[in-house]
Amino acid sequence: MTALSNIDWTKFQDDREIVAYLKTLPRYRNSFLKSAWRRALFFLHLLYCRTFNVDKPLFIVLVTNNNCNLNCTYCYGEYGTKTTEKNYSTRKFLEIIDELKGLGTQLLTLHGGEALLRKDFGDVLNYAKLRGFYVSVNTNGYLVPRKLEELRCADTVVLSLDGKEENNDRYRGEGCYGKVMKALDALETIKMPTVLSATLTDDTIDDMDFLADLAVKRHLRIQYSILYNSDYLAKKTGRQLSTDEIIRKTTQKVKDLRTAGFPVYYSENVLDAAINWPERFEEKREYTLADLPKYEHRKKDFIRCYHGRLKYQIDADGRVIRCWALNKADAPNIHDLGLKGALDAVHEDNFCQHCTYLANNEHNALLDLTPRSVAHIARIQLADALKFLVKPTRGATVQREIISSPTVQSPHAYTAPSRKVMTIKPLAACGSGPVRDNCGVSVQGEHPDRSKRERADPEQREHLDR
Ligand code: SF4
């Protein structure tokens, strides 16, 4: 792909001409060997960086667009359906990808808004694969059956699903559950490694078992994101997973499911760090440099942060941030500083040191290369890559007896530990990996007023360019 590395995108007249060119490129077909090699390469580069203390943007969350065809109640994103001026053009999208390649990026997570709304998405995804990235795609699933051929080259797809049909659709929109099921069916036909991403609220915490069972039956991994409370979100919905006690018990429940062998995304040490977080969740979820002396004696309980060192997020409006939790309106912008300049500016801001956010810490644990995490993640990556080879047999199960620990129930109840028999799949597909990013909800960024948001039918909004 030497030729691809030398393309000057400014020589094309416009985005239309660029897309026409992209369509002439060979289609990347993923396979077990190719995907396994990309996963291994990421580890090798990470090993190099950690051994020689080199910081570079190995792992990038690239927000492709600020449009979305859903209107989830708890969403904080400024995902207006009509405005496209904040999204970068196809040319800029490709220039970013080229520059990231030059800076040493190995892993790209693409999400929006709804990434599949970009008309150029499939062609750019194909280009990114041809350039040698490991690529994970986040989607709400609505367009997956229609864009299945485009998704075929990805390494992993992450689908949002919060619970049983009634509860899921209450937050994400009527008909959403059915669309996700259709997306799962479609992804199964192309043997795509798939992760379910569930955002937990008061209404959906009782569906954690249901989701875990679904993940087993459909050979998926399951990631639970905690919806932290905030004035904004509480005012908007009145129903959140809000108190410290419930959040802690919910996290314990995630750990219990993992211990029982369900394919839960998180490592044990990541869950422990959240369960044992010294502060009340409503009050403090991050430690800055200034906090550290006070907690020196508990340092081993925290996961070291590598966001802003080995991982960054680039938003569709060009802002570069360390992670979604630090989503500042005045963050360094690639349009002002260039990509390298903006990444450097974020790298210098090492204010935030530790936090309790599960998905962020899963990535931190990976980037830290702690032996426990490496063993866990390597096993998962192999299992995921193998999915390209094997067509799953839906519902292949074994019975295993587990002792369930205290069960979280809404609203704010807590049942005693009990013994029950759960039908589960062996552990082969369990755990986490470097291929995902959080779909959880930030409570720190600026929360736009979305009251003017048009509530068009999702199918009618698919015409949006990017
Ligand atoms: S919030 Fe967590 S992941 Fe984000 S920069 Fe702070 S410590 Fe790192």
Instruction: Report yes or no: 254 and 264 within 8 Å, Cβ to Cβ.
Output: yes
pLDDT at 349: 84
Q: Range of 455's domain?
A: 398-465
381 and 418 inside one domain: no
Asked whether residue 77 is domain-assigned, the answer is: yes
Looking at the DSSP assignment, which residues form a beta bridge with residue 399? 423
Tell me which residue has its CA closest to atom 6 in ligand 1: 352
228 and 358 inside one domain: yes
Instruction: Report yes or no: 153 and 129 within 8 Å, Cβ to Cβ.
Output: yes
Would the pTM count as exceeding 0.85?
Answer: no
With tokens 């207006």, the residue in question is: 80
Alpha carbons 422 and 49: distance in angstroms, whole number:
42
Q: Where does a domain end: 360, 386, 412?
A: 386
| Torsional sign, CA 361, 230, 79, 336 | negative
Alpha carbons 463 and 168: distance in angstroms, whole number:
25
Of 310, 322, 353, best ligand 1 pocket probe by most atoms within 8 Å of the beta carbon: 322
pLDDT at 229: 59
The C-alpha R_g of the chain, in whole angstroms, comes to 21
Strands (E), 274-342: 286-288, 311-314, 320-321
pLDDT at 279: 87
Asked whether residue 297 is domain-assigned, the answer is: yes
Asked whether residue 322 is domain-assigned, the answer is: yes
* Cα angle for residues 360, 361, 362 (degrees, 5° grid): 95
Alpha carbons 456 and 466: distance in angstroms, whole number:
17
141 and 56 inside one domain: yes
Regions in the chain scoring below 50 on pLDDT: 1-2, 80-83, 396-406, 410-466
CB of 274 closer than 6 A to ligand 1? Answer: no
Question: 354 CA distance to ligand 1 centroid (A)?
Answer: 6
Asked whether residue 392 is domain-assigned, the answer is: no
Question: 136 CA distance to ligand 1 centroid (A)?
Answer: 21
Of 309, 352, 354, 441, best ligand 1 pocket probe by most atoms within 8 Å of the beta carbon: 352
370 and 440 inside one domain: no
Instruction: Report yes or no: 334 and 314 within 8 Å, Cβ to Cβ.
Output: yes
372 and 410 inside one domain: no
What is each CA distance from 114 to 67, 129, 144, 203, in whole angstroms? 6, 20, 11, 24
379 and 413 inside one domain: no
Domain of 220, CATH number, reads 3.20.20.70
pLDDT at 412: 38
Asked whether residue 391 is domain-assigned, the answer is: no
Alpha carbons 409 and 205: distance in angstroms, whole number:
7
Question: 305 CA distance to ligand 1 centroid (A)?
Answer: 6
314 and 449 inside one domain: no
420 and 271 inside one domain: no
The SS3 assignment for 105 reads coil
pLDDT at 127: 97
88 and 147 inside one domain: yes
pLDDT at 5: 77
Alpha carbons 215 and 225: distance in angstroms, whole number:
15
pLDDT at 441: 30
Q: How many CA atoms lie within 13 A of 34 on its CB side?
A: 17
DSSP states of 297-315: GGGGGSPPP-BTTTEEEE-
157 and 29 inside one domain: yes
410 and 379 inside one domain: no
pLDDT at 56: 96
Copy the structure tokens of residue 60: 């990038």
